[in-house]
Structure formats: C-alpha cells, structure tokens
Chain A
Amino acid sequence: MTRTVTDVICPFCGTLCDDLEVVVSDDEKDLLEVYNACAIGAEKFLHSQAKDRITRPRMRQEDGSWKEISYDEAIEYTARMLTDAKKPLMYGWSSTNCEAQAVGSEIGEIVGAIMDNTATVCHGTSLIAVQDIGIPSCTLGEVKNRADRILFWGCNPAHAHPRHMSRYSIFPRGFFTGKGHTGRKVIVVDPRPTDTASLADVHLQVEQGRDYELLDALRVAFKGEKLPDFVAGIPKEKIYEAAETLKSGRFAIIFFGMGVTQSLGKNHNIDEAIAVTRDLNEYTKAAIMPMRGHYNVTGSGQVWGWLFGFPYAVDLSRGFARYNPGETTANDLLRRDEVDAVFVLGSDPGAHFPFSSVKKIYDRPSVAIDPHETPTTEVCKVHVPVAFVGVEVGGCAYRMDNVPIETRKVVEPPEGMMTDEEFLGRVLARVKEIKGV
C-alpha cells in the first residue's frame, strides 16, 4: 500500500512550488514517486532515497581517508572549533529552514562569528542596491493576476526556475489576465538566445557586461530623449520600442538574475534596473523582483534582518553586528585570510566559490553540515550528514517574493540521523557550556 501526500513544498529553488504530490510507502520510510515537480525538484526528492547515502558523521584522517565518528564527537569538534577560533566564518544557511537559521544565529552571537549566506554569490549585490534605492515589488500572485508586461533581465527561468513561467509569469491565467500568455508581452534581455528568450516576443541580445548602459538607455527612451544608434549592441529603434512596450502596459514586472548581479557593475546594474522600475511607475504600474536561487536564501536574510538588522555579511566578531559588504563577505574574508575556521551549513561553497576561496577552506579547521557528499565536504575536516529539510523534516522557508511557507515532512530520515536544527541545538548548548554563558 502507498499513501499520497499533497500540497508538498519543493525545497529546491526560490520559486518554492507548493503543489507537489509525493507518493510514499505505508510505513513512511520510502519515497516512491513525485508529481508536479520540475526535473530538478523531482530529482531532489528521489535522491534523498539514494542507497549510498552517508548517514553518519565522519572525520578526515591524516592520510586523507574518512573515519566514521559519532554525532557527539562531531558536536564536540564543531563547538571546540567555533569557540577556539578568533573569527570563525559561519556560511551557507540557504538550504535549511528558518528554525535552524535562528539557532545558528545565536551560536554566531556567542562565538563572535561572521554570518554570511549564499546571497553573497547570488543576489548580495541586489541587497546592496536595495539599500541604495529601495525596491518596488509585489508577490508573485500580483504578477499572475495583473501583469501584462514581463521582462526577464539576465535570468533564465527555463533552466534555473523551471516552473516559474507556468505558475507565475508567462502562462498562467489570473483574475485580470484571463487570456494567459496571449495577453502578455514578454521581453528577454540576455547575451545568449536562451531557452527563455525563445519564449519571448522580443529578445535583446545585450553585449555581455553592458547591462548598465542598456538599462540607462531605457530610462532615456522613456523620456523620449535622444539615443546613439547602438547601445550595448542593441539598435536604438529596438530600445525605443521596448520602452514603449513597457510604458503601454497596465502592470509591468522585471525579473532579474545573475546576469546582472555577477557581471561587472554588480550592484550598480541593479540600482539602474530599480531606477527603471521607479521611472515606469510615473507612467503605469511596475514592479521588480530578484530571482532568488536557493529555496530559503530569502529566509536567512529575513531571520538575520529581525535578529541583527542586516540581510547577509553580518560580522558579529566584535560582540555587536556590523555589515560592510566587500569586507565582511565570505569570499573577501577567505581570500584575505581573515577567518580562522569555517562552518558550512545548507550550501556548497566548494562547488560554487572561486577556487582561490575553496583552497582557504581546505587550509582551515572546517565542518560541513550537508545531506549530500559535495566538493565542500571533500575539502572540510568533518562532514555531518543531516536530514533533508522539506523532505525528512519540515520548517519555514521564504519564497523569492518573501512569502513564508511551511515546508512539509514527507518521509522519515534514516534511523538515527539528526536534523539541522537538532544538531545546531546541541552545538549551541555545548558552546554555552564552554563559554560559561
């Protein structure tokens, strides 16, 4: 016999789809089938069942081999590492729930850690831009129900947020958008003719790294002022046309991604994209939204927001919270040798940081908390496997539009396996003992 769990939340990307159906065995130990998910989400659920999964903590030996250790030993190592360090980096916090993030924050407070999340290599520059200029935004349902102008800038949801277009942006029929995609005009700005661009009415193949100029040109075009013949490789006629398309809509939305946050210009690109949105509000209604990657990177920014007042790159090492991206951000700290221990949870910097930073993790006392075996676990001294959040344990997660949704537990984790929150709770207790607080 099997049982179907409905309304399951997908713990992969910031789209945070909440309509999955998962078939589990009667004893709730095996996950058999996944419906409604994209290919990546389905794989995430199914891989949790991999037979070769690591289920116990392990420590790297002198000779490079792994030795299995108990959770107690892993907790002791972690607590000692964090309390012995002068300035530990506690990084990740995006593929876990808000409950674990809150416990981790208290550990960081006590040991004087630098807390950074994956925004640092994703939408951190967007967060800086928001601090410069603000952000007129909305929930994804507003897009579904009202938007008739959709602009994807430097993002490729066909690959990175596969169900975004059908659930929210291009195809759905909403309250004021009964015609679905035929009532919408879609513009894609990308240096490649991506699979998303193939679904668009207009593709502007911007020269890589020249987004700022093109955004600025749009603002010029809104005002009907003169443009040179080409900007960022785009003929001016196409820019005027795109500007007119956006202005003539009833509700315009700009989604943007790594194409603008990681290219030169960085936060200034986002400043300009938000300024475009502000300008559009002089003519019609317009909103802008970052396409957040990890399913709960947004949540870690929220938790740190209410606990510390900053969304990422929070330096607690002086006993109070400081924030200075470029100084208190993970890659800058690693490259400048400013941290002396590294704790990673809910992220894989080993795969997703430039190698010069990865090498620095390898050179230091380090712990990786991750259900998977990853390049990060490969370079850390201790690897602690944990239950999959959203599969084997529930908890709160924030969607890319900041909407909080409670993820569900659908199957039991392997016998004896701890959750992020349980492990962190034990580390917190031990850290308090060691520090005498």
Chain B
Amino acid sequence: MAEYLIKNGFVFDPVLGIRGDQADIAIKDGKIVETNAITNPKVIDAAGKTVMAGGVDIHAHVAGPKVNVGRNFRPEDKLFGYKPRNGIERMQGGFSVPTTIRTGYNYARMGYTTVMEAAMPPLYARHTHEEMRDTPILDQGAYPVFGNNWFVLEYLKNHEIENTAAYIAWLLQATKGYAVKVVNPGGTEAWAWGLNCENVHDPVPYFDITPAQIVTGLIEANEYLGLPHSMHVHANNLGNPGNYTTTLDTFKLSEGIKPKSKFGRDQVMHHTHVQFHSYGGDSWANVDSRAREIMDYVNSHDNITIDMGQVTLDETTTMTADGPFEHHLTELNHLKWANADVELETGSGVVPYVYSPNIKVCAIQWAIGLELALLAKDSSRIFLTTDHPNAGPFIRYPRVMKWLMSEEAREQQFDAFKHKDKVIEATNLAGIGRELDLYEIAQMTRAGPAKSLGLAHMYGGLAPGLEADVAVYDFNPNEPYAPDDIEKAFSNAEHLFKTGVQVVRDHEIASNGNKRTLWVNAKVNENPQVMRDVKEKFLRYYTVTLNNYEVTGHYLPNPYVIEVDATQ
C-alpha cells in the first residue's frame, strides 16, 4: 500500500492532545505511523488546512428495513438532487433517506469513515447487512435491539443476568451485531397491543416487568460480558412535553455501576438523541427546555455518555423502533405512517416530518440540542448527531458545527424564527455565549464516540498505531472566517484517507474504499438453559426455523470481528 505524508496541517486531535498546532501525519500499511517510519511517501501539502482523524458516527439510521421503508414510501424525497453515475461513482439519490451509495459517499465528503447503524431488528439482520455491504467506503456495525425482546423480558423479570448475557452473546453472533441497543424498553412490546410504557415503572403488559428492570438488567449483562460499547438506550417517553423526568429516572438506573470492559470506555450507559428527551411543560403550548437539568446530571456523573439528536430544521423522515411514538407522531402531523412490529423482538415506525422554523416547538427543539452541547463540561462525553434522519439528515453535521462554533450563526437562526421571542423565553440558548473550538468538535465527532464505542484502539485519533483514517479540510482556523465558511469546509473534505486508502482527493471521490463490517463475538460459558429456550421459542413462536436465522458469511464480505472473552 502507498505511503502518505500529510504535511504542515493544523492538527486537532484529542488523542494526542494537539490543539491546532502544525504537525505532520504519516500513513503506512493502512495505519498511522511515526513520521520517520516511512521512506517514499506521497506528500499531501496541508499547510493552512485543518487535519483531523476520520469522523465516527455513533448513532445514525442508515441501513436496514425501516430505512428502506423510508426510501420506498417517499418518492418525493428524491425529487431534487439525484446525481447521475459519473466515473467510479454510481448514481445517488435521496435527501433525508439517501440510497446506500449516496450514504457512503456523503459521509466520506464530510470526512467521516466510521458509521454505526443504530437499530437492527434481529429478524431483519440480513437486510441490514445487505445494505451495509452496498454502502461504500465506511466501516460500519449495527446494534441489534434488545429492550423488547421476549427472552430478555423473561430472564430479567427474575434478574437472571447470566442467562441474559448468554442470550446477548448468542444473538450478537447470530445477527453479526455490534452492541446492545434498547429502544423504549417495554414500550414497544406494549405497542404490539396498541399500548405504551411512558415511565420507567410502567409495567409491560403480560410480561410483569418494568422498563427500569430492563435497563438495569441489560447494563449489568452488558458489563458481565465486558462488551466494547455500553448499553445504548433510547429511553421511554420520547418526544413528549415533560419527559425530562423520565430521562433523569433512566440516567439514574446507571448509578453505582462501573464499567467492566477492557476496551477503555468509562461509561455504562450511552443515552442517545437526548434532545428528544429534554422537554419540560405539560403540553405543546408550554413545552420548554430542560437541557440545564439534564446536563447538570450528565456533567456530574462520568459513567454516562450522550449524543445530541440535533434538529436541523429540514423536511425529513422519522424512523424508530419506538413504534408507539411514530403512531403518536402521525396523529399529530397527519402524514403517512408505516409501522412494522417484529415477532418476539421489537417494532418500528416511519413518518415524514417537517421541522419548520415557523413552528415554535421545532425552534425550541433546535435550541435544546445546541444547549446540551454548549452546557457540557466535557465535550468528549457528548457526541454530535442528528439521530439521522430523525432530527435531520446527517449531511447537516457541518451546519451543526457552525451553530456550535459561532454565536453569530445562532443569532442569525434565531432571527429567522417566526416565534423568536417565545422560543427565547422557553429556552436557555440565547443566554449562552460559548463557542466551541475545533478541538472540542474533534472530541464530539472523533475521539469521544470512538472511546464510547470501545474502539479507541482503532479510531478517533491520529496516534501511531491507529487506523489511517485522516481528513484534511480546506479551513484555516487562524484566519478570520464567516460562520458559513465552517459549514462549507466541513461539508466538503479536501482529502480523506480510510484505512490508508485515499477515498477523497481534491474534494472528489477517488475510491470506493475497503469497507469493513464490525461485529462482536462474545464467548461465554456453555449455557444449556438458554440454548434450550432458544430452541423452544423457535419451534413454537417464530415463523422462521432456528437453522434459517443466523446471518452467515457472504452477507459480510469483509468482516472485522472483535473478540470478547467472558468465560472467566
């Protein structure tokens, strides 16, 4: 493989602690190496430009059944901006739910190299893997959902952690999954009867367990296994006024639990798209921001990480395993509604949504997301996401960076709101002058998520030994710039290396890369009871046979297996 030397760029790397100093980055055999370890490199002149590690997205809905429902049931999402085939680039379409090809290319254009699919229904794992296989360039993994799974509900009713852990290990292996995802614990099972669990102590119909027991049990099972990532939760009561108390109640379930993983993470709970979970008030008329209460908790508890779920004020497509929420949403906006309940495992819904700057609530949501990041004491524990495509498409990350880095940009946006005064009154943002710097952005988009995922040994930084994922942006942080220059530069990386392959050259896609699929193979002691339960459930309740369930080799043409030994 070619050697590269990226010379004289302004480097922002929390792993090495470099805050914009000029430095050289060397690449050899797909890894970052010391600059004296290369002999005949191709030189990239990065003088006057910004250099960072490849971006890492911890939570986006980019592949799988509900994403494809979003594509297929929204032809209008492709009305504008379809791009013809050109050179090595295949045709690309879609705005809020892009085709897999566009997904890969657009992340690369932003300098991202690793993207995690946030919710994989186990029965549909093959579908998720087929889409990831057809997404060029990116390293990807997918999180199977566990929070409404009948095995989990039955084991955790009796607090059987070891059995839960053995089942998790089996399912990760069967679905080639990466982490333990929990969506509206218990609530989606309740939705199979048209009901919901809105609080952590609401009982789940029939199963006689509460969301609190599910979350706590899954954290314990996750740490029992010592998985790379922590339990990754989307709590109950998403999107409802007054829900911040449910969020705090969920956070508190992690108290007293310490990480037990050799992958270097400090958290036992990752709570995703917290913007949707930080609302006060008791109706849409008086909803207000509780970002301060939420961040007070996060700032003082270091075993939690969160991501933003920033609203970008676009027309988009919401999609989540939180089935009851999507039904609630279609009743609010009266747009088309798709729902798919999945036997024994989970459910999901999809509804288009327009976040209009003319609607007060949308503007409040926009402010709350930014407040979370700006009130954070440690930017390496809160990650930049839009819960793509729920709060907005991922291509808006550079715009979110602009809002985070520039008070002027935020003021411009406030001025564009129809109900500016009411929005200011209901939120804290107007009183927050903080502007993040590129080092903090690198924490939120690189080092932080990589560490939270247990992948700090591969991604998120520029230290020798890490994967050679390196982005060069045409942005000089030491020269004066307008807010829009940030968005422009970070939407359009000048160069991008992915595992040592140059995939973007002079702002153009130069290669389809060497995409890998990450999954976690956790070894546990033999557990005859769990295997008996698995056989029994497949025999009696599933509609596929056990032998036709496991996702095998060819769905992952280039797998990267992370081995975990929990046999003790």
Do the two chains touch directly in the complex (Cβ atoms below 8 Å apart)? yes
Chain A interface residues (CB < 8 Å from chain B):
6-7, 9, 18-19, 98, 102, 106, 109-110, 127, 130-142, 144-146, 167-168, 174-176, 250-251, 278, 281, 284-285, 287, 301-303, 305-311, 316, 318-323, 396, 398, 402-406
| A19–B73 alpha-carbon span in the complex (Å) | 32
Asked if B99 contacts A307 (CB within 8 A), the reply is: yes
- Pick from B67, B134, B548: contact of A307, CB below 8 A: B134
> Is A287 touching B339 in the complex (CB atoms < 8 A)?
yes
Given known contacts A396-B130, A402-B124, A301 and B84 CB-to-CB distance under 8 angstroms: no
Distance in angstroms between the alpha carbons of A367 and B187 in the assembled complex: 52
Contact across chains for A285 and B73 when beta carbons are under 8 A apart: no
- Distance from B197 Cβ to chain A, minimum over Cβ atoms (Å): 15
Q: Is B277 an interface residue (CB 8 A)?
A: no
A250–B192 Cα distance when bound, in Å, is 10
* B93 contact set on A, CB distance < 8 A: 308-309, 320-321
Taking the closest CB of chain B, its distance from the CB of A287, in whole angstroms, is: 7
Tier of interface size on chain B: 35 or more
A368 to B208, CA, bound (A): 57
B72 interfacial by beta-carbon distance below 8 Å: yes
Give A127 to B74 CA distance when docked, in angstroms.
11
Q: How far is the CB of A57 from chain B (nearest CB, A)?
A: 27
Contact with A along B191-203 (1 / 0, CB 8 A): 1111000000000
Minimum CB–CB distance from B101 to chain A (whole Å) comes to 7
Indicate whether A102 sits within 8 Å of B134 (C-beta atoms), given known contacts A142-B341, A308-B91: yes
Q: How far is the CA of A417 from the CA of B447 in the complex (A)?
A: 52
Residues of chain B within 8 A (CB-CB) of A127 are 72
For the complex of A and B, the 4 pairs showing the least CB-CB separation, nearest first, are A141-B343, A134-B336, A319-B84, A138-B341
B82 at the interface (CB under 8 A from A): yes
| Bound CA–CA A7/B542 (angstroms) | 14
| Cβ B123 vs Cβ A139 within 8 A | yes
Provide 24 A-B residue pairs closer than 8 Å at the C-beta atoms, listed in order of the A residue.
Answer: A9-B548, A18-B545, A18-B548, A130-B72, A130-B73, A133-B337, A134-B335, A136-B339, A140-B543, A142-B342, A144-B543, A145-B541, A174-B541, A281-B194, A305-B68, A306-B67, A306-B131, A307-B134, A309-B99, A318-B84, A323-B78, A398-B127, A402-B340, A406-B552
- Shortest A142–chain B CB gap in Å is 5
Chain A residues whose CB sits within 8 angstroms of the CB of B130 once the complex forms = 98, 302-303, 306, 396, 404
* CB-defined contacts of A284 to chain B, threshold 8 Å: 194
Task: Tell me, yes or no, whether B515 is within 8 Å of chain A by CB.
Answer: no
Known A-B contacts A131-B75, A144-B541, A396-B130; A287 and B330 likewise in contact (beta carbons under 8 Å):
no
Q: How far is the CB of A75 from chain B (nearest CB, A)?
A: 22
B94 touches A309 (CB 8 A): yes
The answer on a CB contact under 8 Å between B545 and A7 is: yes
Let me know if B327 and A320 touch, CB within 8 A.
Answer: no
Known contacts: A19-B545, A287-B341. The answer to whether A323 contacts B75 by CB under 8 A is: yes
B65 within 8 A of A: yes
Is there an interface contact between A141 and B127, defined as CB atoms closer than 8 Å? Answer: no
In angstroms, how far is the closest chain B Cβ from the Cβ of A312? 9
Docked Cα-Cα span, A287 to B340, in Å, equals 9
B491 interfacial contact with A, CB 8 Å: no
**Contact, CB under 8 Å: A130 / B545:** no
User: In angstroms, how far is the closest chain B Cβ from the Cβ of A258?
Assistant: 21
A316 to B85, CA, bound (A): 10
Q: How far is the CB of A390 from chain B (nearest CB, A)?
A: 12
Assembled-state Cα–Cα distance A408/B542 (Å): 19
B100 at interface (Cβ–Cβ under 8 A)?
A: yes
Partner of B73, one of A135, A138, A287: A135
In contact, B99 and A306 (Cβ under 8 angstroms): yes
Which residues does chain A contribute within 8 Å of B74, judged by CB atoms?
131
Candidate in B339, B343, B344, B543 with the most chain A CB atoms within 10 angstroms: B543
B567 to chain A, nearest CB (A): 29
A319 to B347, CA, bound (A): 37
- B124→A403 contact, CB < 8 A: yes
Assuming the contacts A9-B548, A320-B82, A402-B65, asked whether A109 and B90 have C-beta atoms less than 8 A apart, the reply is: yes
A284–B195 Cα distance when bound, in Å, is 9
The answer to whether A316 and B544 touch across the interface, beta carbons within 8 angstroms, is: no
Interface residue? B351 (CB, 8 A)? yes
Binary A-proximity of B523-542 (CB < 8 A = 1, otherwise 0): 00000000000000000111
Query: Is B5 an interface residue when CB atoms closer than 8 A count as contact?
Result: no
The yes or no answer to B83 lying at the interface (CB within 8 A) is yes
The answer to whether B350 has its CB under 8 Å from any CB of chain A is yes
Which one of B85, B90, B351, B548 contacts A405 once the chains associate, using CB atoms below 8 Å?
Answer: B548
Q: A139-B342, A144-B541, A321-B78 are in contact. Are A250 and B193 (CB under 8 A)?
A: yes
CB-CB < 8 A to B478: which residues of A? none
- Contact of A142 (CB < 8 Å), options: B85, B100, B343, B540: B343
A-contact bits for B124-150, CB 8 A (1 contact / 0 none):
101100110010000000000000001
Please, which residues of chain A bring their CB within 8 A of the CB of B341? 137-139, 142, 287
With A7-B548, A134-B338, A287-B339 already in contact, the answer to whether A310 and B75 are too (CB < 8 A) is yes
Which parts of B59-80 form the interface with A (CB within 8 Å)?
A: 63, 65, 67-68, 71-75, 77-78
B300 lies within 8 A of chain A by Cβ: no
CA distance A89 to B479 in the complex (A): 55
Contacts of B412 in A (CB 8 A): none
A397: nearest chain-B partner, CB-CB: B126
- Contact among B82, B336, B337, B542 with A141 in the assembled complex (CB-CB below 8 Å): B542
Residue of B78, B337, B541 near A134 (CB, 8 A) is B337
B40 lies within 8 A of chain A by Cβ: no
Closest to A302 in B: B68
Known: A138-B341, A250-B193, A251-B193. A109 touches B85 (CB 8 A): yes
Chain B residues with CB under 8 Å of A102's CB are 134
Smallest CB separation, B133 vs chain A (Å): 9
- Chain A residue with minimal CB distance to B330? A134
Docked Cα-Cα span, A133 to B351, in Å, equals 10
Is B547 interfacial (CB 8 A cutoff)?
Answer: yes
Q: Are B340 and A319 in contact (CB under 8 A)?
A: no
Which chain B residues lie closer than 8 Å to A175 at the CB level? 150, 540-541
On whether A285 and B192 interact (CB within 8 A), knowing A7-B545, A9-B548, the answer reads yes
With A19-B545, A110-B85, A135-B338 already in contact, the answer to whether A306 and B68 are too (CB < 8 A) is yes
Q: B91 to chain A: which residues have CB within 8 Å?
A: 109, 308, 316, 319-321
Residues of B within 8 A of A305 (CB): 68, 71-72
What's the least CB distance linking B38 to chain A, in Å? Answer: 34
Contact of A285 with B194 at beta-carbon distance under 8 Å, contacts A174-B541, A396-B130 already known: yes
Bound-state CA distance A7–B335 (Å) is 41
Known: A139-B342, A309-B94, A319-B91. A132 touches B336 (CB 8 A): yes
B131: chain A residues at CB < 8 Å are: 306
Is B124 a contact of A404 with CB atoms below 8 Å? Answer: yes
Instruction: Provide the residues of chain A in CB contact with B335, threshold 8 Å.
Output: 134
Docked Cα-Cα span, A285 to B75, in Å, equals 28
B539 to chain A, nearest CB (A): 10
